Amino acid sequence: MTSTTPGASVAPAPRAHLASVPVYIPGRSAAEAMAEHGIKEAVKLASNEVPFGPLPGVAEALASAVSDTARYADHDSDVLAERYAGELGLTRAHVAVGPGSVGLLQQLTLAYAGPDDDVLYPWPSFIAYPQFSGVVAANRVVVPLRRCSIDVDAVLTAITPQTRIVFIANPNNPISGALRTDDLRRLLDGAPADCLVVIDEAYREFVTGADVGDALQHLAEFPNLVVLRTLSKAYGMAGLRVGFLIADPVVVAAVYATMIPFAVNGPAQAAAMVALDQQAEVRRRCAVIIEERQRGAQELRRRGLGVPDSQGNFWWLPAGDRSTEITVALEQRGVVVRPFPTGIRVTVGLPAENAAFLSALDGVLADDPTRTGSWTLPTGARAQRTADLLDRIRPRLSRTSADARAADRVAARLAELGDDDWALLEAGVGPFGDLAETAEWMASSAGDPGVHVGGE
């Protein structure tokens, strides 16, 4: 019974449905890890930030904007929105600026979904999707990933007349794969016009796959398409909170309607204007991360550890139910990573930070080699077979594929094969009859691990 006694000693209860809403848990800081484990140094590779200082001009823009902080800033970030829209060849009405792309995700959810509506997203994915759809008391409809990939057919099948929003992170987080161009198109073609399809491209600048879908290409054709971008990742401004939502003007107006006043502060707006001038430097920094991402993936695979291909600034270690234990052991050795129920996400850092991670991982696995036992991807003998197979097919791959990373891609595809498909491969059955041809297929977009090859 609700108490009406003045001064009752219990605080009022929040709305009941909030009890089942997942709360955002930030990655641990290096300082927290150092204090807990009594260590003198730690690197944080837990929040998908970039490891660089501010872009040129950003610190100066912040310093100069500070003199104006007694005043409210531009509520709608008009100048910034206009500038960003211009860069995309769109009008101001197509862009909303918000406090990080996650702020815009929340505003969008408030504007479009409520009790009795369905909000749908593949899983595992970004925690903000269940959080915000839970806050508005919408039904959360989850479509499991299939072999680390978004299963577009399953997503389309799960859409009902009640579905108001589909959230897709592309590349996905924490599992690092990306949606192919034809899958993105199929999703947009198949989704009903009254259901928003939100393509969250927080990691777009790190994409190297030629066949990864680019949502902005489809904007003119689909008024229900919403694209999210951010300055938090590649632009190194996570602490300043600036994100962009690009959509039909009707959607943009609705998103502004649910924004708290002056959500993006003046120094952040000023810094964003300067950061957008630094495209060449952003590309240079991303190239460093991308090279480290490829190098680190090779290093992990060389150790017999399967990691899926990554299109973001992070690796996914499918450590299964040993994830928390391995995370703690890494922390004790000074490397802070992010555990999830089925794996560990490790942000790609500077070369020295990545070397520290690999060396810590070596120590953790040397202490207890069974820690890789539950990884769903190949280890031990299967990893050795993969290495042998790659050695055999490499000459043919380099003759037939112009792409120097073809062998890497095959390694990633092989790593993602389930046990049944692996057995078929060993037996030379089906598409695996001719190993070299199979490898070429795997190196091409058709070899996406989301394409099932074993006859399930």
Rounded CA-CA distance 290/314 in Å is 10
- Contact between 205 and ligand PLP (CB under 6 A)? no
User: Should residue 278 be labelled a site residue for ligand PLP when binding is judged by CB under 6 A?
Assistant: no
Q: Is residue 108 near ligand PLP by the rule CB under 6 A?
A: no
Question: Distance of CA 281 to CAs 53, 209, 235, 292, 445, Å?
Answer: 12, 21, 9, 17, 30
Question: Do 323 and 341 contact (CB within 8 A), yes or no?
Answer: yes
Minimum CB separation from ligand PLP for residue 48, in Å? 5
182 CB neighbour count, 10 Å cutoff: 13
**Residue type, position 203, single letter:** Y
Q: Which is nearer to ligand PLP, 272 or 329 (CB)?
A: 272
Q: Which residue is nearest to ligand PLP (CB)?
A: 100
164-193 residues in contact with ligand PLP (CB under 6 A) are 169, 173
3-state SS, residue 175: coil
**Position 438 contacts ligand PLP (CB under 6 A):** no
Which one of residues 43, 48, 176, 379 is an interface residue with ligand PLP (CB under 6 A)?
48
Binding ligand PLP (rule: CB under 6 A), the pick from 149, 230, 347, 372 is 230
Site residues for ligand PLP, 310-329, by CB under 6 A, read none
Which residues are paired to 347 by β-bridges? 314
Q: What angle do CA 359, 365, 366 make, to 5 degrees?
A: 85
Nearest distance in Å: CB 13, ligand PLP: 29
Q: Give Cβ neighbours of residue 185 (< 8 Å, ≥ 6 apart).
A: 213, 218
Binding to ligand PLP by CB under 6 A, coded x per residue (else -) over 375-394, reads --------------------
Q: Does 266 bind ligand PLP (CB under 6 A)?
A: no
Q: Does 238 bind ligand PLP (CB under 6 A)?
A: yes
Distance from CA of residue 183 to its chain's centroid?
17
- Indicate the residue among 200 and 440 with the shorter CB distance to ligand PLP: 200
Compose the 64-103 pattern: x for residues touching ligand PLP by CB under 6 A, - for all others: ------------------------------------xxx-
Cβ at position 128, least distance to ligand PLP in Å? 6
- For residue 159, how far is the Cα from the chain centroid? 22
Size, binding site for ligand PLP by CB under 6 A: 13
* Cα distance between residue 14 and residue 330, in whole Å: 38
Q: Which of 111, 148, 202, 411 binds ligand PLP (CB under 6 A)?
A: 202
Identify whether the C-beta of residue 143 lies closer than 8 Å to the C-beta of residue 155: yes
DSSP structure class, residue 244: E
Whether the upstream peptide bond of residue 124 has omega within 30° of 0, thus cis, is yes
Residue with Cβ nearer ligand PLP (48 or 386): 48
Residue 126 interacts with ligand PLP (CB under 6 A)?
Answer: yes
Neighbours of 146 (CB within 10 A): 18
**Binding-site ranges for ligand PLP (CB under 6 A):** 48, 100-102, 126, 169, 173, 200, 202, 230, 232, 238, 243
